[in-house]
Amino acid sequence: MASFLKFIAVRFAAAFATMLLVSFIVFTLMELVPGNCAERYIAYKTTQGQLITEADIRAEEVRMGLDRPYIERWVKWVSSAIFRFDLGESCLWRVDVTQLIGDKLGISLGLSFAALMLTYVIAIPVGILSASMRDGVLDSSLRVASYLGLALPNFLLALGIMLVSTVFFGDTLTGLFSDEYRDVPWSMAKLGDMLSHAWLPILILGWSATAIQLQTVRALMSDEQGKLYVTAAKARGITGMRLLMCYPARHALGPVINSIGFDLNRIFNDLPIVAAVLALTDAGALLLEALAKSNDQQLAGAIILAMTATIVALNFLTDILLAFIDPRVRKGFF
Amino acid sequence: MALFAAKPIKKEDYYTASQLQLVWARFKKKKSALIAAFCLLFFVLSGVFAPFLSPYAPTAAGRNQDYTNGAPQIPQFCDAKGCSARPFIHKVERHRGVETNFRWVTKQTDKRNYIVLLPKSKPYTMLGIPLSHRLFGVEEGFIHLFGTDATGKDIFSRTLHAIGISLAVGTVGVLISFVLALVIGGVAGYFGGWVDTVLQALMDTVKTTPTIPLFMALAAFIPDEWSAEARFTFISIILGLLGWGTLARRIRTHVLAERNADYVLAAKLCAAKPAHIIMRHLLPSFTSYIIVDLVISFPYMVLAETSLSFIGLGLKDPVNSLGVLLQNVTKVDVLLNYQWYFIPVPIFVAIVLAFVFVGDGLRDAADPYSEHRK
């Protein structure tokens, strides 16, 4: 047991180190953006008719702590993010980033995890079935679907669905809320309204992850099925579902669990682009706006950091889960 | 030996065949990969020779002001007046009157406009060669096989140029990530120890961060005033910088497995330097895997560029790429009325599919054990 705790501690330390490295990369990127927050804010004030001097910019820099050395500011940024969930102030809106992204990040994570669930709910059973009846109709049509999943990126699929629905049903299927719910506070009715719109983004976000995961599950199952322990189980008279589920499927599950984090990564990748196509109002759209339109480095950095933190946390959890369910991994600890 | 099933070849040919011949023989056997390879060749050629194959320049210079948002014009052999051996399209005419509410509208007439081969055009250059003829055109006016966009630019010409640009971005990106993967993976695998640990941590981090948001953050640095060429170079570099993780890991594993082999020891005893051993002795032992990996990663580069350009952070007009072509299609107006904006989409899906199939075929062909399985 002690060694298992040690395993958890080591994995946690590794995840923490990864997060620090990521935060450093993201922070460096934000630093590299031409111009800093103070200059941008002052530039905004100038457009409002105020006369701004060089001294004002310097004063603003001192107020925001931008005159401190680079490493010191990074440490401050990271530590306040860890200890107080405080990611600084948005350059443009002058409000806390946490407050700005809170709700929208929630929606994004909700959509992403729903897409992730969809991926596994479809990929695991269908992949297992497909492998057990190799070269049948189901199998070959699945292979075509998987290739399409690679070749047709999510946003092209979204465009295609929009095109068809606009031409045939006169509805572009965009947005997450109906007009009457857009700006009202959260309620059951608003949640229901969102869910009735959310199926399309979820489906589209999960599309290529599902296609790739199907391929993986199928390949893993085909590999396992030829192995001796399966033959031995057959010789003992085990057949049908029981044979499939208790023997090859159990072994194939390990690598699948291991890849959950990367699937989430794949889904996050598509978030801003799908948001752009479907006119969603989530963190993906906010990230897009922060980067493409307003150059809001604080906001963009915070969103990327939050996304990566989710992936790292999920990777950490799946590592532990794997140790629990796979005796081969567990063996080393107990 | 079922290897050379097509023609009976002596067994010793199999044993004396070079690596390349063996791979090609195995590759040929897989029909889907072979067909995909021919499609790919076709696309690459049409991308390279786009300036000659397309009837007009893909930029504002080649636009047809009188036919904006125009529908595709399909060449035909027959109309109400009978048939002709030469394909033709119908001429269009600008018209304004009471019945159109005094707005200019484009109307099709029944006058024939025959298609001609190698018409004279404004001088242009292809691969540095100055030319003044295009492959095809019409007797007078314009022909738009795929229709035109909102400013009257020919979508067919833009698509051909976009293929070329997308392939070029992908090639440069793949080359950059290849060099990075070679250096980082090779060093990590060869030296091992703490160097390996640090580089592995770096690879893991790059792999954990969502790539597209990172691409976006990097691409957001591009100042608006940069020229199209500078933008192109920068985007390719970004794609290359973030795409090396998987290949580097694979190279590391190979080098790690091979570095204790006798031939490496022999080279070391001859006082060869690490760089020399990695480049001349270790890497050639799995060149085929590297090539296969590059082909497989190619479509991802192209798609990443498409995504970036689509959201406006990648390439921009006047450079064409699929992403640039698709920038304006999410408007309801376009979705409802101008569906020919979407014609480039199936073409690009076909290109990516061709790459995927060729990559799969190459992977199986390069693996000497693929025949013995199953």
pLDDT band, residue B1 (cuts 50/70/90): very low
**Range of weakest confidence among A190-194, A256-260, B205-209, B316-320:** A190-194
Tell me the one-letter amino acid at A28: T
Q: Angle at CA A7, nearest 5°, toward A5 and A10?
A: 110
Q: What is the pLDDT of residue B217?
A: 75
A285 Cβ partners below 8 Å, 6+ apart?
A104, A272, A275, A276, A279
CA distance A299 to B217: 11
Q: What is the pLDDT of residue B374?
A: 42
Question: Nearest CA to CA, how far is B216 from chain A (Å)?
Answer: 7
Q: Would the CB atoms of B213 and A166 count as touching at under 8 Å? A: no
How high is the mean pLDDT of chain B?
78
CA distance A255 to A304: 26
pLDDT higher than threshold 60 for residue B32: yes
* Burial call B197-210: b when 16+ CB within 10 Å, e when fewer: eebeebbbbbbbbb
Q: What is the pLDDT of residue A93?
A: 65
Residues paired with residue B117 on neighbouring β-strands, in sequence order: B136
CB count, 10 Å around CB of A40? 17
What is the percentage of chain B residues whose pLDDT exceeds 70? 89
Which residues in chain A (9-28) have CB-CB distances under 8 A to chain B? 17-18, 21-22, 25-26
pLDDT higher than threshold 80 for residue B162: yes
A219-255 confidence digits (pLDDT tens): 888 778 778 888 888 888 887 777 877 778 877 777 7
Residues paired with residue B89 on neighbouring β-strands, in sequence order: B113
Domains, chain B, with CATH or none: 61-152 (no CATH), 158-373 (1.10.3720.10)
In the three-class reduction of DSSP (H, G, I as helix; E, B as strand; rest coil), residue A172 is classed as coil
Q: Are B64 and B94 in contact (CB under 8 A)?
A: no
Question: Please, how many CA atoms are within 13 Å of residue A112, restricted to the half-sphere of its CB?
Answer: 28
Q: What is the pLDDT of residue A330?
A: 65
Residues paired with residue A327 on neighbouring β-strands, in sequence order: none
**Which residue did the predictor score with more confidence, A46 or A333?**
A46
pLDDT band, residue A41 (cuts 50/70/90): low
pLDDT higher than threshold 70 for residue B100: no
With CA atoms as reference, report the closest residue to B326 among A212, B179, B204, B339.
Answer: B339
Maximum pairwise Cα distance, chain A? 88
Return the residue in B197, B212, B321 with the most chain A beta carbons within 10 A, the one to mutate for interface testing. B212
Return the residue in A289, A291, A315 with the most chain B beta carbons within 10 A, the one to mutate for interface testing. A291
B66-75 confidence digits (pLDDT tens): 777 777 777 7
Q: Tokens in use for B94?
A: 């600008």
pLDDT higher than threshold 60 for residue B4: no
Nearest to A307 among B202, B210, B332 (CB): B210
Q: Would the CB atoms of B221 and A288 count as touching at under 8 Å? A: no
A267-292 confidence digits (pLDDT tens): 888 888 888 777 777 777 777 777 76
Nearest to B311 among A18, A151, A273 (CB): A273
Question: Which residues from chain A sit within 8 angstroms of residue B349, using beta carbons?
Answer: 148, 151-152, 156
CA distance B282 to B260: 11
pLDDT higher than threshold 70 for residue A133: yes
pLDDT higher than threshold 70 for residue B249: yes
Question: Which residues from chain A sit within 8 angstroms of residue B220, using beta carbons?
Answer: 33, 291-292, 295, 300
- Which residue does chain B place closest to A155, by CA atoms? B307
A54-94 confidence digits (pLDDT tens): 777 777 777 666 667 777 778 877 777 777 767 677 666 66
Mean pLDDT (whole number) for A192-215? 80
CA distance A176 to A184: 13
Return the residue in B39, B199, B208 with the most chain A beta carbons within 10 A, the one to mutate for interface testing. B208
pLDDT higher than threshold 70 for residue B130: yes
CB count, 10 Å around CB of B173? 26
What is the percentage of chain B residues whose pLDDT exceeds 90? 1
ipTM of the complex: 0.72
Chain CA centroid to CA B360, Å: 17
Q: pTM for the whole thing?
A: 0.77
Return the residue in B211, B305, B330 with the most chain A beta carbons within 10 A, the one to mutate for interface testing. B330
Mean pLDDT (whole number) for A185-208? 76
CB count, 10 Å around CB of B240? 21
Residues paired with residue B83 on neighbouring β-strands, in sequence order: B78
CB count, 10 Å around CB of B157? 25
The one-character DSSP state at B148 is B
Question: Which residues from chain B sit within 8 angstroms of residue A21, using beta carbons?
Answer: 201-202, 205
Rounded to the nearest 10 degrees, the angle between the axes of helix A260-278 and helix A297-325 is 150
Q: Would the CB atoms of B330 and A159 count as touching at under 8 Å? A: yes
pLDDT higher than threshold 80 for residue B220: no
pLDDT higher than threshold 70 for residue B369: no
**Range of weakest confidence among A105-119, A294-308, B171-185:** A294-308
In the three-class reduction of DSSP (H, G, I as helix; E, B as strand; rest coil), residue B55 is classed as coil
The domain made up of A97-333 is a member of CATH 1.10.3720.10: yes
Dihedral sign for Cα atoms in the order B215, B220, B224, B227 = negative
Long-range contacts of B320-325 (CB under 8 A, 24+ apart): B320/B58, B320/B158, B320/B159, B320/B161, B320/B162, B320/B165, B321/B162, B321/B165, B321/B166, B321/B169, B322/B162, B322/B166, B322/B348, B324/B162, B325/B155, B325/B158, B325/B159, B325/B162
Residue found by looking up tokens 């989710």 in the block: A310
Nearest to A22 among B209, B212, B312 (CB): B209
A174 Cβ partners below 8 Å, 6+ apart?
A162, A277, A278, A279, A280
**Which residue did the predictor score with more confidence, A21 or B120?**
A21
CA distance B352 to A266: 18
Q: What is the pLDDT of residue A111?
A: 86
pLDDT higher than threshold 70 for residue A186: no
Residues of chain A with CATH 1.10.3720.10: 97-333
Q: Are B281 and B264 in contact (CB under 8 A)?
A: yes
Question: Nearest CA to CA, how far is B313 from chain A (Å)?
Answer: 6
Question: Which residues from chain A sit within 8 angstroms of residue B209, using beta carbons?
Answer: 22, 25, 265, 304, 308, 311
pLDDT higher than threshold 60 for residue B370: no
Q: What is the DSSP string of B18-82?
A: -HHHHHHHHHHH-HHHHHHHHHHHHHHHHHHTHHHHSSS-SSGGG--TTSTTPPP---EEEETTE
Q: What is the pLDDT of residue B368?
A: 63
With CA atoms as reference, report the closest residue to B170 among B308, B347, B286.
Answer: B308
Q: Are B92 and B138 in contact (CB under 8 A)?
A: no
